[in-house]
Amino acid sequence: MARKPKPDIRRQRFVPQTVDPQKLQHFLGVYEHGNFGVAAEASHVTQQAVSKAVAKLEHQLGVPLFERTPNGAKPTVYAHTLARRAKIITSESRLAMAELSAMRGSSAGFVQVGIGWSFFPRIAPDAISRFRSERPGVGLQVAGGTSASLYPRLARGELDLVVSAPPGEFKPDPAIDTTTLHVEHDAVVLRAEHPLVRKGSVSLKDLSECTWLVALSLPDRWHAICAAFATRGIEPPTDIIDLDSLTLAKSMLVRGNYVCLLSEELVAPELKAGLFHAYRLEELPLSRPALLATRRGAELQPAAVVFRDIVCEICKKYYPG
């Protein structure tokens, strides 16, 4: 019986055991944004640098990672597989460098956190001030934004943790674990001098005749408001101003007889100062959990643990129930 010839190992293509984390970071940028140019902007490098890094990575791995199309870069099946591992590799590499740096005494650590807008008025300032007081030598970088913008950065390892209140329809990456901190409630917010405040009561009929400040860029929220009116046979508000700036909305509420449905946490300082009045209506039962999000299976560095614990304690102070 003829023997089966041994394979010529010189012709076999072996995948290298190590891959440059910087190339993986550029790959993840293209993977998340679907565009080489946008990925380059986000990383503050040239598009040529990103294209070159991805091309070298494709050559090194021996597989195509993206299909270049007129509409951008479409990930291949190989890209989807690599992305799951690349997120872990890049994040753990960054955390390892931070911990080793702290151990050898060159720094006391560095924490990168993502904070949702509703935490900005009081929880975030309290947490940051206390953290700086307890860990004065630790570097702290805060990224503000929506859950939709912060969670991908967390999954890529760019952030240690995220605290935010994502909308009910938001679906986080399966690689992210969440813990409920408290529940945020929405309320109808008016300035203290609004005629309805002087009247002493607020009804849906009254509100239907008011000028509403709304963000039509959040259609689910506006549809819920309209549905609440329609369900009770009341004409939904027709006098609306479409704006997506919280700062502008709060400024207009102070100056005029407008109405806005906002998280009570977003206007907590103004409510405490007596500038606004907030009314929770059974007809508008909008709420969402405020969540602490971390990467599944990743151990937080010590400084990040401190920041996490501080946030949790402050949330318990404001929401003791």
- 57 and 171 both lie in a single domain: no
Do the Cβ atoms of 138 and 303 come closer than 8 Å?
yes
**Which of 84, 102, 125 delimits the end of a domain?**
84
Radius of gyration of the chain (CA): 25
Q: Does residue 4 surpass a pLDDT of 50?
A: no
Residue range 54-87, pLDDT digits in tens? 999 888 888 999 998 888 889 999 988 888 778 7
| CA 120 distance to own-chain centroid | 13
Residue range 254-304, pLDDT digits in tens? 999 999 999 999 999 999 999 999 999 888 878 899 999 998 877 888 889
CA atoms within 13 A on the CB side of 233: 0
Mean per-residue pLDDT over the chain, rounded? 85
Q: Which residues pair with 188 in a beta bridge?
A: 261, 279
3-state secondary structure the chain: CCCCCCCCHHHCCCCCCCCCHHHHHHHHHHHHHCCHHHHHHHHCCCHHHHHHHHHHHHHHHCCCCEEEECCEEEECHHHHHHHHHHHHHHHHHHHHHHHHHHHCCCCCCEEEEEEEHHHCCCHHHHHHHHHHHHCCCCEEEEEEECHHHHHHHHHCCCCCEEEECCCCCCCCCCCEEEEEEEEEEEEEEEECCCHHHHHCCCCHHHHHCCEEEECCCCHHHHHHHHHHHHHCCCCCCCCEEECCCHHHHHHHHHHCCEEEEEEHHHHHHHHHHCCEEEECCCCCCCEEEEEEEEECCCCCCHHHHHHHHHHHHHHHHHCCC
- 34 and 165 both lie in a single domain: no
- 223 and 275 both lie in a single domain: yes
Q: What percent of the chain has pLDDT over 70?
A: 88
Residues in the chain: 321
The reply to whether 116 falls in a domain is yes
The mean pLDDT of 131-160, rounded to a whole number, is: 89
Predicted confidence at residue 219, as pLDDT, reads 82
Predicted confidence at residue 100, as pLDDT, reads 57
- 197 and 270 both lie in a single domain: yes
Look up the CATH number of the domain holding residue 165.
3.40.190.10
The mean pLDDT of 299-317, rounded to a whole number, is: 92
pTM tops 0.85: no
Residue range 76-124, pLDDT digits in tens? 999 888 887 787 677 666 666 655 555 544 445 788 999 999 999 999 9
- 27 and 172 both lie in a single domain: no
Q: pLDDT-derived band of residue 13, with 50, 70 and 90 as boundaries?
A: very low
- 45 and 79 both lie in a single domain: yes
Predicted confidence at residue 273, as pLDDT, reads 94
Cβ-based neighbours of 267, under 8 Å, separated by 6 or more: 121, 189, 250, 276, 278
Look up the CATH number of the domain holding residue 34.
1.10.10.10
Token pair of 104, please? 């050898």
**Number of folded domains that form the chain:** 3
**Which of 63, 84, 105 delimits the end of a domain?**
84
- 224 and 148 both lie in a single domain: no
- 190 and 152 both lie in a single domain: no
Residue range 179-202, pLDDT digits in tens? 999 999 999 999 999 999 988 778
The reply to whether 4 falls in a domain is no
- Provide the domain limits for residue 294: 89-183+289-318
The reply to whether 1 falls in a domain is no
- 206 and 121 both lie in a single domain: no
**Which of 84, 118, 134 delimits the end of a domain?**
84
Look up the CATH number of the domain holding residue 227.
3.40.190.290
